[in-house]
Structure 1
Amino acid sequence: MNQTVTRALDLLSALQDGAQTLDECAERLGVHKSTILRLLQTLEAQRFVTHDAQHRYRLGSRLFELAGAALAQRDVRDVARPHLERLNEETGQTVHLAAYESGDVVYIDKLEARTGIRMYSRVGLRAPLHSTAVAKVLLADLPAAARREIAEGIDYVPFTDRTIRNATDFLAELERVRADGFARDSAEHETFINCIAAPIRDGSGAAVAAASVSVPTLSLPAHEVLALLPQLMTATRGASADLGWAPRSVNDREERL
């Protein structure tokens, strides 16, 4: 690679650790100050770096624009797929990926169970909002006013005797999901299926998708499905990291909302 380009990239990488003076940059790269200054001036002209009144250089706004464009071009299905494939291989169970689109939660990817038992769900099918774990995860991430509006507009069809039947109980369930960081469907949509789901977040911290593991009771009892949560969380956190998610603190989601 061209030496000037290499040095410019090394300089940008050095600045990701925080603002630095010209002397600090030169020492960090082991290059003469005059060379570093020319690089900094060129990068600043293109808004890749900027400097303050104390002549400390930091990353510029152009990099944020490029980072945003790069993340926007990464389809969540493509990013999540290797993580979901690993989850499917580790658990042997059905894995779903779902997204919230125009008031509906829609399955956008599915990996079939490695056992002989298959679920009727398919890509493009809508998931009932009040009885599926993926829907709970995605709705729980919305602002309080939006959660309430959606909850009050749901037709609470009782799929099983465990299905949530009213807005008050559903809103309480969403609060539990927000506190726990994952959701459960304990035979609420189908009597013979238990499910756990967790969010996949993008660089802004928003839940752009939900991944789930669905297991027939013939394969595992409910408490053993819950034992799969660590594998699920590893997959969703890995996909989130690939989408640019880096939580600032344990209260990151609450601060954002």
Structure 2
Amino acid sequence: MTTARSNDAPTAMIDRVASLLQVFDGGHRFTLAEVSRRAGLPRSSAHRILGRLVDLGWIERRGFEYALGIRMFELGSQVVRRDGVHQAALPHMHALHRSTGLTVHLSALQSGDVLHLERIGGWPEKGEGWRLGARQPAVHSAAGRALLAQLDDADWPALSYPPPATPGGVRTEADLRREIDRVRDRDGVAVDAEGCSAGVTAVAAAIGPSEDGLSAALSLCGPATAVPVDRAVAAVRRAATDIWYAAFGVTRLRGRPTRPVHAALPLADALTAVARG
């Protein structure tokens, strides 16, 4: 019995550390009492684990509050930035932001959510779902629907349908399938007009699978009253295709607009600047 307890101890400790770290999902700061309550750990255990994580740089302490530390950022950045699509996307994302004035996201499908891997632009300033590192339900997100549309329905991950934030959001599988049909009719570009967040219009296109299987989408978002959707669709489609070519080293032949494998994105004639407002 002593052996069984010793074998279980490392797993139990890992579970405690994981439950504690998950408290900080969202980038907030918490006191020891809040961490203990949210993680479901005794105050003494939470204090001991937090102290060690502070020593390692995984957690930082300011006064009586704790937050994720710089070491967590370093480790997470290494995971994301090793991906070829992410590296190829950065210059195109900056160019797209400069030419449109809109916020650009690079997102990946993770189970039934989309995870925002990169963000260029400061709007919206509020809204947890739009920040770097945040997740949004795939069914509510333009990026999520663009990624789902490039998959066979049988390959979809398990999806949830939480109540949408607006009356125009997706509520059922039937709603989602109608939206996916629209994405496919639009050659792989998804448009979400205030379905995910009130006052926000987002346009997204799938880039295609990376060399290690991470499927990513590029999106633009901005105030619903200021996004010219047709021009945003053309801009996102072209930029997503350019990223695919850059990531996989495919030479584009002039006069022969071929489609990247898996991406299902026809080439646009030009990158159209989208004016803000």
Segments of 4+ moved more than 3 angstroms = 116-120, 245-255
**Cα deviation per residue 1:2-61 (whole Å; 9 max; x = unaligned)?**
xxxxxxxxxxxxxxxxxxxxxxxxxxxxxxxxxxxxxxxxxxxxxxxxxxxxxxxxxxxx
How far did 1:103 drift? 3.6
Which residue of 1 is the match for residue 132 of structure 2?
Answer: 123
Residue 185 of structure 1, CA deviation: 0.7
The answer to whether 1:228 aligns with 2:232 is yes
- Across the aligned residues of Structure 1 and Structure 2, the Cα RMSD in angstroms comes to 3.0
Q: In structure 2, what residue type is equivalent to 1:231?
A: A
Displacement, 1:168?
Answer: 1.3
Question: Is 1:241 the equivalent of 2:248?
Answer: no
Residue 203 of structure 2: SS of its match in structure 1? strand
Q: Secondary structure at the match of 2:139?
A: coil
Correspondence 1:199 to 2:206? yes
| Aligned counterparts of 2:263 and 2:206: Cα–Cα separation in 1 | 15
- Cα 1:184–1:119 shift into 2, 3 Å: farther
Task: After TM superposition, list the pairs within 5 Å mapping 1:158-197 onto structure 2.
Answer: 158-180=164-186, 181-197=188-204
**C-alpha separation between the residues in 1 aligned to 2:132 and 2:197?**
18
Structure 1: tracts of 5 or more residues without a match: 1-72
Which residue of structure 1 aligns with residue 22 of structure 2?
none
| Structure 2 unaligned blocks of 5 or more | 1-81, 265-277
Deviation at 1:112, TM superposition (A): 1.0
Q: Which amino acid aligns with 2:171?
A: R
Question: 2: CA distance between counterparts of 1:132 and 1:94?
Answer: 15
The structural deviation recorded for 1:119 is: 4.8
Equivalent in the alignment of 1:140: 149
Amino acid across the alignment from 2:89: A
TM-score (normalised: structure 2)? 0.55
How far the C-alpha of 1:179 sits from its partner, in A, is 3.0
Deviation at 1:92, TM superposition (A): 0.6
2:40 is aligned to none
Q: Give the drift of 1:117.
A: 5.7
Rounded to whole Å, the distance in 2 between the matches of 1:89 and 1:251 is 26
Distance in structure 2 (CA, Å) of the matches to 1:119 and 1:93: 15
The separation in 1 between residues aligned to 2:133 and 2:182, in whole angstroms, is 28
Contact 1:74 1:243 in 2 (8 A): no
Deviation at 1:254, TM superposition (A): 10
In the superposition, relative to structure 1, how do residues 202 and 111 fare at CA in structure 2: closer, same or farther (>3 Å)? same
Q: Percent identity?
A: 26
Greater CA radius of gyration, 1 or 2?
1
Aligned partner of 1:143: which letter? D
Matched residue, 1:157: 163
Query: Does the 8 Å CA contact 1:138/1:207 hold for their aligned counterparts?
Result: no
Is the 2:203–2:220 Cα contact (8 Å) retained in structure 1?
yes
Does residue 104 (structure 1) correspond to residue 113 (structure 2)? The answer is yes
